[in-house]
Chain A
Amino acid sequence: MEIGNLQRRYLDFASTLFHEGFLDNQFTQLQQLQDESSPEFVLEVVTLFFEDSEKLLDELSRTLNQQAVDFKKVDAHVHQLKGSSASIGAQRVKNVCVAFRNCCEEMNQEGCLRCLRQVRNEYFLVKNKLETLFALEQQIVAAGGSVPMMW
């Protein structure tokens, strides 16, 4: 595909992500931090996010499926997940984390399990989107073009 098309697709796709709330302004900030000195910055951070989040989700799943749920621990994990999702701009994930924390405070196991399911969904959704976004970028670069700025 020619570069122009690729770039257009890329931009369209990116803007829908923003419009649909998968990503927010924080992601743009991340992109702005990428420069010659750290050309893969966004990819690095997002990869870190993926790794960390999946670990957290597994932990959460384990902790919540116990007989006696340690809500403090659950809350700590959710807090962490909230922090990292906020840092990269994964808005929907972060929003679910907020609700999740409320359930923790209420020590509502059912509610927490529900939130866990939700956050997993959102996480995998945004993961998927981001991976697509990166793939598009790579295509552009592979085609010899440069990735257009979203801002």
Chain B
Amino acid sequence: MIVEERKGTRDQFPVGMRVLAVDDNPICLKLLEALLVRCQYKVTTTDKAITALNMMRENRNKFDLVISDVHMPDMDGFKLLELVGLEMDLPVIMLSANGETQTVMKGISHGACDYLLKPVRIEELRNIWQHVIRRRKFEKSCGTDSDNRDDGLKVLANSEDGHWVADDHNGKITKKRKDQSEADEDDSEDNIENDDPSSLKKPRVVWTIELHRKFVAAVNQLGIDKAVPKKILDLMNVENLTRENVASHLQKYRLYLKRLSVVAGQQASMVAAVGGRNSSYLNMASLNGFRNYYAIGGSRQLPTVGSLQPTGVLGRMNSSSTLAMQGLLPSPTVQLCGMHKSTSNPCNTDLGRIQGIVAPGNRQMNLLHGVPLNLEPEQFPQLKLLQEPRNQLPAGFSDSGFTVGPKSNSFPIGTTNPLFVQANEQHNRTGGLQNYSVKMSPSSSELLDFDLQDISQFTSNNRSGDGSWQGASGSTEDPTSSLSILAPFGNIALSSANIGANISSVTTHAVTKPFDEFANTMAAPLHDAITNNNINNHVRSLNGNTMAMPPVHDDSRPSNFSLDNSIQSWDYSINSNTVSSRYSNPLLSKLRNDEATARFHSSGIAVGEKNLGATAVVQGNFGTSLVRQDCMIDRSTVDGQLKFKGGYESENSRLHSGINSNGSCLADVVNSMVKPQDDDMLFGDIDMGCDLYSIGACMCSLWT
């Protein structure tokens, strides 16, 4: 019986562990084989990566472990590593003569469970079996028991019932399966299930690249918080794929992202060190960004963001919208730090947080303070508007509560990002944020207490629900006020023309945190401000209300954001008095110093959705002040977002590129910006000459 045979072999584990060795160098391969045989493993060798993959694909259960060289002519070892991890989920050990830290890091980040240096010693090989056990145990404990059981059942089923398709009954056999037809099998398989799952190799579904792509698309579409296996399965619409398959793959995927984010986080500094231009790191960073940075719009998962039309929302988000956005700026309490609540909430500093500027201190993540982050809840930290009572509203959103539509859905904005869309619409119409329906999620609404009175654009309609943009004073003519405030927020990060979009996107995805929405809204106003040309006075007008920049004080006065229409650069000038935000965001201070510098040309507030980079963006403008932080700007989101250029477009590319290549930059910038120097944000003096929009751009420019 197959099962018994397997068990027999397994009992002697690690003896007989089946290893696949891949190395293009025949001498090394031969040596490796000899060493492995000496360790009593069962070795299969090949000098071609393609052959190795085919061998594994034809029978996933053929091997327990793969050892592969890094430098191979037909396929990069890292690529093989990824594919194996993705499709077969086997532990892979990298082997190379190159022991440079960067290379090793790359291997680990690609998922290698170990990295050995050539010439490899037998002592090292004697221990590699640990990786197999570890993975099994880890997966099991992570709830992949169903798969295990499936496998076990499958094995049995295969032997007994030839017509059972491996994939088919992968899920069906599990106890979870309610399928009546399988009930019998389930019962009969019980004894198998009771066996030690680890002894049974699970016949998993082969997750090909295509399949995985579909999977990722489905997850993105649903939003990470809503991505439940059943829905993913439905969206994927693949035959012979069961919910359990999807469930376990989802689990792995999450772990994979987590791993990457961890690594990316660690690499953040490294990236920063290397100028943040290291694209490889960038990628990682971006991934990490999700976690660490309230990735606005999260990493790949910013569906909404992506959907935002570049010229769209943001462009439209003229002052009104921006203002509205401003309204969105949640009260200080709202922390844009999209990060998980549980995770560091980077944006803890007052404004800094809100700003989405990378939260000072340890949290890099707060990049997205003000930035609407499309963060999948799990993936991206929830944007939480700073909870500080001080109203960390960025950009002078003084307590105007903006109603950032909770979770994107509320945003009328066309795109999935309701907020965003709304902003857009609003923007167009009123040139302001009026319609920012960016409703902050109720919970956050309280936080967002924007007092957008001054935000001309923010009419009352902006405020919807609780704490909507109060401040959204209807004066559309004075979008600046509203906008300006937003500027600091992630709006900056809102690369896409739609700041609103960003916000919305953020909100939509965001995580449930009101903040997200907030972020979106924030973006909007800025936009408006921009279009309004110089919302210089806005700030003033925002005084007392919206000055979101710094923690929204009661009398927060919006800084004067002057948003240049031309480049959507929001020049925010934050009046010190008004903005007594505690936005110690360095950005702000920078802003202060540099009145006009805050020109985020790229208007594309680098919302990298995920990036708090937006804040960084803001900083970008300040050129100097830009502290390259590891901005986890998700390229994908950034793409969508960076559209600011002149009309909120084209900047994107700049920003985009800037961001892309420099994910870290934003982070840096944001971080620097956000550094909460002191609790009392001196917004007053900060001239957020930053065009929020251009913040992103600025950032870009900085990087580029």
Contact = CB atoms under 8 A, between A and B. Distances in A.
Interface of A: 26, 29-30, 33, 37-38, 41, 44-45, 48-49, 52, 76, 79-80, 82-84, 86-89
A83 B34 contact: no
B30 A44 contact: yes
B8 interface: no
Given A83-B28, A88-B27, 20 more contacts: A26-B119, A29-B122, A33-B38, A38-B34, A41-B34, A44-B30, A45-B27, A45-B30, A45-B34, A52-B25, A52-B26, A79-B97, A80-B25, A82-B97, A84-B25, A87-B25, A87-B31, A87-B118, A88-B31, A89-B119
A48 B34 contact: no
A77 to B, nearest CB: 11
Interface of B: 24-28, 30-31, 34-35, 37-38, 71, 73, 97, 118-119, 121-122
A29 B28 CA distance: 13
A45 B28 CA distance: 9
7 contacts: A33-B38, A83-B118, A84-B25, A84-B26, A86-B97, A86-B118, A87-B27
A33 B119 contact: no
A49 B28 CA distance: 9
A83 B97 CA distance: 7
A52 B27 contact: yes
B35 A79 contact: no
B122 A83 contact: no
Contacts of B97: 79, 82-83, 86
B305 to A, nearest CB: 38
B210 to A, nearest CB: 31
Contacts of B119: 26, 29, 86-87, 89
A48 B121 contact: no
Interface core residue of A29, A44, A84, A89 (most chain B CB under 10 Å):
A84
Nearest to B27: A84
B31 A45 contact: yes
B27 A83 contact: yes
Nearest to A30: B31
Given A26-B119, A29-B121, A79-B71, A84 B28 contact: yes
Contacts of A80: 24-25
A134 B541 CA distance: 92
Interface core residue of B26, B37, B71, B73 (most chain A CB under 10 Å):
B26
Contacts of B34: 33, 38, 41, 45
Nearest to A44: B30
Contacts of A84: 25-28
B510 to A, nearest CB: 45
A89 B118 CA distance: 11
Contacts of A87: 25, 27-28, 31, 118-119
Nearest to B34: A33
A96 to B, nearest CB: 15
Contacts of A37: 37
A29 B121 CA distance: 8
Contacts of B26: 48, 52, 84
Contacts of B37: 37
B639 to A, nearest CB: 31
**The 9 nearest A-B residue pairs measured at CB:** A84-B27, A33-B34, A83-B25, A87-B28, A87-B119, A87-B31, A87-B27, A86-B119, A83-B97
Nearest to A85: B27
Nearest to B98: A79
Contact of B27 (A38, A49, A76): A49
Interface core residue of B25, B27, B28, B73 (most chain A CB under 10 Å):
B27
A82 B122 CA distance: 20
Nearest to B69: A83
A104 to B, nearest CB: 14
B163 to A, nearest CB: 43
Contact of B30 (A48, A82, A83, A89): A48
Contacts of A83: 25, 27-28, 97, 118
Contacts of A29: 119, 121-122
Contacts of A30: 31
A36 B660 CA distance: 58
A33 B28 contact: no
A86 B35 CA distance: 15
Contacts of A52: 25-27
B41 to A, nearest CB: 14
A30 B38 CA distance: 12
